[in-house]
Amino acid sequence: MIEVRDLSVSRAGFPVLEGVQFALPAATALVLRGPNGIGKTTLLRTLAGLQPPLAGEILGDPDDIAYAAHADGLKLTLTVEENLTFWARVFGAHDIEPAIKAFNLAALRTRAAGSLSAGQKRRLSLARLMVTGRRLWILDEPTVSLDAASVQLFAATIRAHLNADGAAIMATHIDLGIEGRVLDLTPFKAKLPALDADDGGFL
């Protein structure tokens, strides 16, 4: 579904990861691990097409990808239903009922998103993925502020998505009980160029 060859990514002009390689077939999940600041978010943003790679190539159809960032991306003055319906229409889907059901949002559907708790907002933000109809989900810390029961809902959704020939790449530190590959990013940490190597222009 997506293949990454010798990919280097940069954050704020500094290379953070280099030589990242993996291939992800359909119906599998890839979990990214690594300490804070290693470049998990940067790698996911590059895969989602929000920033160009420094080097290397990403083979795959960009129209397959649905991206879920750290931020929930919700409009607080719109209701749960309006938020979901908006994204469904943007992605050309019409039915938001499966997503409402999967994330147990039925009781909240007429509430404004601003009145939800952090965990409820997160559930709504994850429900958005289901209405995109995309096959490859790119998830950045999807389980932040979810309680144990909601994590189970999320894990079940991911499992159903994989069974339907989807795929997922996620940066997460908790074990979801999903059989998938784990990719530790620590070995790919970019070596910073020696400081005096290309500082000549400034001095």
Partner 1 sequence: MSALLLRDLRLAFRAGGGFGLGLAFFLIVTVMVPFSVGPNSATLAVIAPGVLWLGALLACLLSLDRLLALDWEDGSLDLLATAPLPLEAVLSVKSLAHWLTTGLPLVLAAPVLGVLLNLPAGGYLWITLSLLIGTPALSVIGTFGAALTVGLKRGGLLLSLLVMPLYVPTLIFGAEAARRGAAGMAVETPLLMLGGITLGAIALLPFASAAVLRVNLR
Q: Where are the alpha helices (DSSP H) in the chain?
A: 40-47, 80-90, 97-102, 118-132, 148-163
Contact 182, 31 (CB under 8 A): yes
Q: Is 57 helix (H, G, I), strand (E, B) or coil?
A: strand
Nearer CB in complex with partner 1: 73/98: 73
Nearer CB in complex with partner 1: 90/182: 90
The identity of residue 5, as a single letter, is: R
Q: How far is the CB of 194 from partner 1 (least distance, A)?
A: 25
Contact 169, 137 (CB under 8 A): yes
Query: What is the contact surface with partner 1 in residues (CB under 8 A)?
Result: 45, 48-52, 63, 65-78, 82, 85-87, 89-92, 128
Q: How far is the CB of 174 from partner 1 (least distance, A)?
A: 21
Q: How far is the CB of 196 from partner 1 (least distance, A)?
A: 27
Nearer CB in complex with partner 1: 31/65: 65
Nearer CB in complex with partner 1: 35/62: 62
Q: How far is the CB of 58 from partner 1 (least distance, A)?
A: 14
Contact 75, 53 (CB under 8 A): no
DSSP state of 167: E
